[in-house]
Structure formats: structure tokens, C-alpha cells
Structure 1
């Protein structure tokens, strides 16, 4: 009988603590979101400018479509800013120092990827944010992006490409929203290797630009994605056969004129060169601005 009473007492205590914690969170959420409008940029005395910091991690280079010059990436993005309207004293709410809320309940910076060809910024509004008692908001989300990337194939297949990923606010000026980098390079610790490209680095830089339309500056954060092509496949299937055909063609000039095999050798080399050119036509990336050296060869 005594054990049953003890078990009931423990259950009631745990259940009461759960109800108490839930009521505290409800009271906290009701308090900080009273009169809060997530569609309006938070402005307080001494906090007229919202400071946003951006961190980026590259998970996978999915594809680089050279004919269309579009690169497809899988990323995760971490945003950090301070919302002066979302502050509270933890002592008033049993030391609750942070809460997790849906994306739609808070104001968020209009992060935009310039030169994007995607129909939407996938993942930006599909997760939850963490709010600390001092107004600090953390929002992390994964995403898949397609970006226009200018490809120079002059040195194909030993070429290196640079694809800039330029992030910024489309609406707010630098006086309203300041953007900063959490790190001077993207995180590559969880990068999956691509079969054709090596990612040699993703350094980041902050730009402050002035446009003719507006007197205030606009800020963007640019991550330069450096890529190096893996040439082993092309060495085996394009360069080596080309060298062999060239040697066979040169061999025809060495054979004596009275050799009966000279004419047939040159005809065979010409036919093999024609067939080989048709086979590698689809392997060479088309470009009107730069012609690959191997194509000229």
C-alpha cells in the first residue's frame, strides 16, 4: 500500500511539472508575441539596423550542366540575427532561456540568391527557429539551389571554373539591414565527392555597393565556388586515342612511296579520325565564346 502511494505521488509530481512547464511556455509565447507583427522589420530605440550573419555549408555538388551553364548544389544555411522585440527575463519564466517557434511566427530577413534559376528558395520557410531570451534568433535550414555559372572550356579537360554564389537582401538597404559573414569560407567538412569535379575552395567576401537608383548602399555576401575538373576519364577516352591516331597519320609519311600499304593506311586513319570526331563531339562542352584547345587540335 505504501509503495502504491509513493508511485502515485511521483506520477502526480511529474505530471504536475509537465503541466507547469507547458503553462510557463504558453505564458512566455503569449507575452513576447503580444502585438508582434512578423511582416514588419523590428525597430527599437538603439536597434534601428538589423544585423544578420550568414554561414553556409556545401553538402554536395549535384550537377554542372555545361551546355546550359547551370550548377546545382545541395547546401545548408545558418542565419543569425537579433530581434529587439523578442526579449524576456528568464527569471520571470522559471529560467526558460530559449523557445522554438515556427518560421511564419517571426520576422525573417528576405535572403535572396542572385542569379538563381530555381523557381523557389526551397527550405527557407519550412523549418523552425530558436529564439533566445536576449532576442537572438537562429534559423538553420537545408536547401537545393540552381545558379547560373559562366563556364570557360578553353583548357578542357584541364580547366578550372569559378561559380559565385551571391546572397543579399532584395528590399532592405545597408542602413536597414546589415549582413556579415560568420566565417570567411564555406564549411566543406560534410562535402560528398563529385565524380567529375573537385571543390578546391569556397572563400567568402562581403561587398558594399552603391547603385544609381538609390543613395543608400546595398550589401551582398559572395561565396566563390572554385571547381577543378577530374581529367582521368578524358585522358583515357579522348586524349590518348587522339595521340595514337596522330602517330599513325605521321607514320604514313615515313613509309616508302612504293609501299603498297601506305595509301590504305592513310585512308584507314582518315576514316578512324572521322568516326572518332563524331564520338567525342558529345563529350566536348559546346561554347561560342571559347573553343577547347583539344577541339582545335
Structure 2
């Protein structure tokens, strides 16, 4: 029994000694590295410092069609060499790498040129410093960048946004940027219920400016997203998430446990937007029912058409409250086209009501032949107007579902 206690005591003492030695080595290394280190100075004045860069998309937060911006959470992965931070691991307890707070290091001030607002760092980050002088720094941040958004093909639209990163303080003779990948990384991407990225790219540019002789590097990351099929023709009648500038936000959860990261949007939001589509199309097509009433009752047609155009105006106001620039969307154009067709039908029926032959007493038969001819003309006009209305509404409906 005494042997066991002695063994445990010696083991504990050995681990304590090793831990103390490692701590002492780490403290000594930290002291030696930063005794003459100045974080305000770049690593080298004699030659250019190359900064390797890549960008990882973590979350697509919002596409704001009103402001023309995209908001996302990204991780900017940078690596460079600082020869002031090299050491021999054998002299410091075989320590080959250490974590150093970024506030103590010279960090490349890479900025987003087309930023719409200051980037928000999610938390304080440390840099990984290796014994051979390499530094790896991966800050995560929320960014908002200008992006030209187009709702022309809504709800089957795709949007392409660019993020231009560069180092504006020094030219390429001091700081050189290099992209380690020709795409954005999506390994840690958390899915958005409405948008899915399907194409990314990363391209380095070397630019010269009129004002200066120096040459500067920047890396342009392009991200193309498309609206999900489940939120397409029927489901996405209105903006369902914070990707639209509006107040309708779905509740969704990400299932990581065996679900492959699938995103489940609330059925209530889908049902609501689906009903909006169906209501819009049914209301527009109801104008055809006025032709079931004879030309002699054109006044009733006008009243019914008035109800339809009021309903279409209400639907247009509801869509405009959810989607900015709704006239540019396919559904918006459909509603405006439906209102135009309904207005024309009402005007035609107003003329019919004004010109339709009035009933005469039975004993007056002098104009019977002329009256019969006028009736045939009005029936012909009625049939032609019906066919033209069907063709126009069919074309408008087809344009909604066409890609």
C-alpha cells in the first residue's frame, strides 16, 4: 500500500515539475521575443512581406434590397512571416508554437474596400506564432458590403456580390497579398433558409492609381447566391427572411445531428406566402367571369370589375410592404398587368353600357333589323375581348414561371 502512495506522490511531483518547467520556458520565450519587438513596425523594411489570404463564409445574414448591401459573417484567414519572432525550440523546452494576443503583434491592416459600415469583430482573437517565424491569424467578423441587387427575376433570382480586400497603407514593395485559394471556403457555412451559395471565386488584382506611382494589391472575392427551390415559384411570393428588407422573418433551426445541416423554415410562413401567390392569380383571373354576364348587363360587369381592381390594389400594397421595388419583380409586374387589363375591361364595358341598344315597346318594330345587327356586333366585341383577355392573362402568368 505504501508503495502505491509513494508512486502516486512521485508521479504528481514529476508532472508538477514538468508543468513548472514548461511554464518557465514559455515565460522566458515570451520575454525574449518581445523585449525589443515593436508592433507598430512591419516585419521587414528591406523586402516585401507576403500575406497569404483566404476567406471563409460562415453565415449569410442578410441581403438588403433597400440599401443595396449584403451582410455576412466571415473568417479572414491570414498568414505571414515575421523573422523577429523566431526561436530555437530546443532552447525553450521544445516549444514549437505559441498563442499570442493580436494586440501584442504587428497585424496586417487588411480592409474591406467596398464596406458599407465598419466591420464588427466577434471577439478578441489570438494569433498562432510558430518557431520558424510564421504567424497565422484567423479573425471572424460581421461585415456589410455594397452590392448591386436585382429583383428583375424574383422569385427565381440570383444575386452576385463582391468583397474587395486590400492593404491601402503600403504598396507592393512593402506588402504583397497572395490568395491561397481561387474560391471562398464554405466548409463552416451555416445554411440560410432562403439563399444558397452556388458559385464563388477569388481573384487577385494589382492596381495603379492616377494620383500615385505605387502599385497596390487587392483580392476580390465574388459570391453568387440563388433563391432556394423550396422558396421559389409558389413559396417565395414575399420576402420570408431577413434577406429581404421587411418585417417578415421565419423561425428556423439547423439540424446538425445526422440531418446534414438541413434548414427547416416555419410552415406557417410558407403557407402564408403560398396563399399570397394563389390569391393574386385567382383574383386577377376572376375578371374573365364578367363575360359570363350578358352585354345587356354591362353595369353589373363594371361593378364586379371595380371590386376586382380594388382587390388587386390591396394585394399590391401588401406586396410592396414586404418587398422593396416590387414593380421590378415578376409578381409585381403580374399584379400591375392584371390591374391594367381589369381597367381596360371596365372601360370597354362602360362603352358597351353607353351604346348598347335600349329596349323598345313591343309595338315599335321599325328598327328590329337594325337592333339585331347591333346586338351581333356587341356579341362579336364581347367574344374578341374575352379571347384577348385570356391571351394577355395567360402570357402574364407564363412570364411568372419562366426562368
Q: Same fold (TM over 0.5)?
A: yes
The secondary structure found in structure 2 opposite 1:99 is: strand
Instruction: Tell me by how many angstroms 1:251 deviates.
Output: 3.9
Structure 1 counterpart of 2:75: 76
Structure 1 counterpart of 2:60: 61
Structure 2 counterpart of 1:38: 39
Structure 2 counterpart of 1:247: 285
1:68-96 Cα offsets, whole Å, 9 max, x none, are 12221112221111112111122222322
The secondary structure found in structure 1 opposite 2:221 is: strand
1:211-256 Cα offsets, whole Å, 9 max, x none, are 1122121111111111213423218355543432332224434643
Q: Is the 8 A contact 2:127 2:137 kept in 1?
A: yes
Structure 2 counterpart of 1:5: 6
Q: Is the 8 A contact 1:44 1:85 kept in 2?
A: no
Structure 1 unaligned residues grouped into runs of 5+: none
The secondary structure found in structure 1 opposite 2:139 is: strand
Whichever structure has more helix as a proportion of its residues is 2
Q: Is the 8 A contact 2:57 2:186 kept in 1?
A: yes
Distance 1:7 1:136 in 2: 40
Distance 1:237 1:189 in 2: 36
Q: Is the 8 A contact 2:155 2:330 kept in 1?
A: no
Instruction: Tell me by how many angstroms 1:177 deviates.
Output: 0.8
Query: Of 306, 319, 326, which aligns to 1:280?
Result: 319
Instruction: Tell me by how many angstroms 1:121 deviates.
Output: 4.2
Structure 2 unaligned residues grouped into runs of 5+: 238-272, 338-403
Instruction: Tell me by how many angstroms 1:38 deviates.
Output: 0.7
Q: Is the 8 A contact 1:82 1:136 kept in 2?
A: yes
Q: Is the 8 A contact 1:204 1:223 kept in 2?
A: yes
Structure 1 counterpart of 2:144: 146
Whichever structure has more strand as a proportion of its residues is 1
Query: Of 322, 332, 346, which aligns to 1:295?
Result: 332
1:99-134 Cα offsets, whole Å, 9 max, x none, are 1111111111001012223334414x7111111111
Does 1 or 2 have the higher relative contact order (CA < 8 Å, sep 6+)? 1
1:154–1:42: structure 2 CA closer, same or farther, 3 Å change rule? same
1:181 aligns with 2:179: yes
Instruction: Tell me by how many angstroms 1:184 deviates.
Output: 1.1
1:285–1:173: structure 2 CA closer, same or farther, 3 Å change rule? same
Distance 2:121 2:161 in 1: 20
